[in-house]
Structure 1
Amino acid sequence: MDAAAKTDEYDLIVLGGGPVGENVADRAVQGGLTAIIVESELVGGECSYWACMPSKALLRSAQALRVAQHVKGAAEAVTGALDVSAVFARRDSFTSNWSDDGQVRWLESAHIDLARGHGRLTGEREVTVTDADGGTRVLRARHAVAVSTGSDAVIPPIDGLAGVAPWTSREATSAQELPASLAVIGGGVVAVEMATAYAALGSTVTVIARSGLLGGMEPFAGERVAAGLEELGVDVRLSVGTESVRRDEEGVHIVLSDGSTVTASEVLVATGRSPRSGDIGLETVGLEPGAWIRVDDTLQVPDVPWLYAVGDVNGRVLLTHQGKYQARAAGDLIAARALGEAVDDAPWGRHVATADHAAAPQVTFSFPEVASVGLTEKAAKDAGISVQVVDYDLGWVAGASLYEDGFEGQARLVIDTERDVIVGATFVGPEVAELVQTATVAIVGEVPISRLWHAVPAYPTVSEIWLRLLEGYGRDSA
Structure 2
Amino acid sequence: MTQPPRPLRATAATTAPLEEAYDLVVIGAGAVGENVADRAVQGGLTAVVIESELVGGECSYWACMPSKALVRSVSALRAARALPGSREAATGRLDVEAVLARRDAVASHWDDSGQVRWLDSAGIALVRGEARLDGARRVVVTTPDGEERVIIARSAVAICTGSDAAIPGIPGLAEAAPWTSREATSAERVSERLAIIGGGVVGCEMATAFAGLGSTVTLISRGRLLSNLEEFASELVSRRLRDEGVTVFTGASPTRVDRRADGTVMIGLEGGAASVEADEVLVATGRRPRTDRLGLETIGLEPGAWLHVDDSLRVDGHDWLYAVGDVNHRALLTHQGKYQARAAGDVIAARARGEEVDASRWGAHSATADHDAVPSVAFTSPEVASVGMTAAGAAGRGLAIRVSDYEIGHVAGASLHAEGYRGRARLVIDDARDVVIGFTAVGDDVAELVHAATIAIVGEVPIARLQHAVPSYPTMSEIWLRLLETDRAQRRA
Scaled to the shorter chain, the TM-score interval is: over 0.9
1:368 to 376, 382, 407: 382
Q: Does 2:319 match 1:305? A: yes
CA distance in 2, matches of 1:110, 1:465: 42
Match of 2:201 in 1: 189
Post-superposition Cα deviations, 1:79-130, rounded to whole Å, max 9, x if no partner, equal: 2110000000000001111000111011000010001000000021010000
Cα pair 1:388 1:414 within 8 Å, conserved? yes
Q: CA deviation at 1:341?
A: 2.4
CA distance in 2, matches of 1:189, 1:106: 31
TM-score, length of structure 2 as denominator length: 0.95
Match of 2:266 in 1: 253
Q: Which amino acid aligns with 1:258?
A: G
Q: Does 2:74 match 1:62? A: yes
Q: CA deviation at 1:210?
A: 1.1
Matched residue count: 476
Cα pair 2:16 2:126 within 8 Å, conserved? no
CA distance in 2, matches of 1:4, 1:225: 50
Cα pair 2:138 2:151 within 8 Å, conserved? yes
What is the DSSP-based 3-state SS (H/G/I as helix, E as strand, rest coil) of the residue aligned with 1:14?
strand
What is the DSSP-based 3-state SS (H/G/I as helix, E as strand, rest coil) of the residue aligned with 1:187?
coil
Match of 1:157 in 2: 169
CA distance in 1, matches of 2:485, 2:26: 49
Higher mean C-alpha deviation, range 187-196 or range 74-83: 74-83
What is the DSSP-based 3-state SS (H/G/I as helix, E as strand, rest coil) of the residue aligned with 1:212?
coil
CA distance in 2, matches of 1:414, 1:168: 34
Post-superposition Cα deviations, 1:324-343, rounded to whole Å, max 9, x if no partner, equal: 00000000000011012232
Match of 1:439 in 2: 453
Going from structure 1 to structure 2, the CA distance change for 1:404 and 1:5 (only over 3 Å counts) comes to: closer
1:456-475 aligned within 5 A: 456-475=470-489
Going from structure 1 to structure 2, the CA distance change for 1:124 and 1:232 (only over 3 Å counts) comes to: same
CA distance in 1, matches of 2:221, 2:357: 46
Match of 1:420 in 2: 434
Match of 1:228 in 2: 240
1:205 to 212, 217, 224: 217
Cα pair 1:50 1:170 within 8 Å, conserved? yes
Going from structure 1 to structure 2, the CA distance change for 1:263 and 1:4 (only over 3 Å counts) comes to: closer
Post-superposition Cα deviations, 1:425-474, rounded to whole Å, max 9, x if no partner, equal: 00000010000000000000000000000000001100000000000111
What is the DSSP-based 3-state SS (H/G/I as helix, E as strand, rest coil) of the residue aligned with 1:258?
helix
CA distance in 2, matches of 1:38, 1:347: 32
Q: Which amino acid aligns with 1:467?
A: L
CA distance in 2, matches of 1:432, 1:6: 52
1:68-467 aligned within 5 A: 68-248=80-260, 249=262, 251-259=264-272, 260-467=274-481
Match of 2:25 in 1: 13
Q: CA deviation at 1:6?
A: 5.5
Post-superposition Cα deviations, 1:37-95, rounded to whole Å, max 9, x if no partner, equal: 00000000000000000000000011111111101111111121100000000000011
Cα pair 1:120 1:281 within 8 Å, conserved? yes
Post-superposition Cα deviations, 1:171-217, rounded to whole Å, max 9, x if no partner, equal: 00000011110000001000000010000000000001011200100
Q: Which amino acid aligns with 2:307?
A: I
Q: Which amino acid aligns with 1:290?
A: G
Gap regions ≥5 residues in structure 1: none
CA distance in 1, matches of 2:180, 2:414: 36
Q: CA deviation at 1:7?
A: 3.0
Post-superposition Cα deviations, 1:14-38, rounded to whole Å, max 9, x if no partner, equal: 0001000000000000111000000
Gap regions ≥5 residues in structure 2: 1-14
Cα pair 1:240 1:258 within 8 Å, conserved? no
CA distance in 2, matches of 1:340, 1:21: 23
What is the DSSP-based 3-state SS (H/G/I as helix, E as strand, rest coil) of the residue aligned with 2:93?
coil
Quick one: percent identity of the two aligned structures?
62
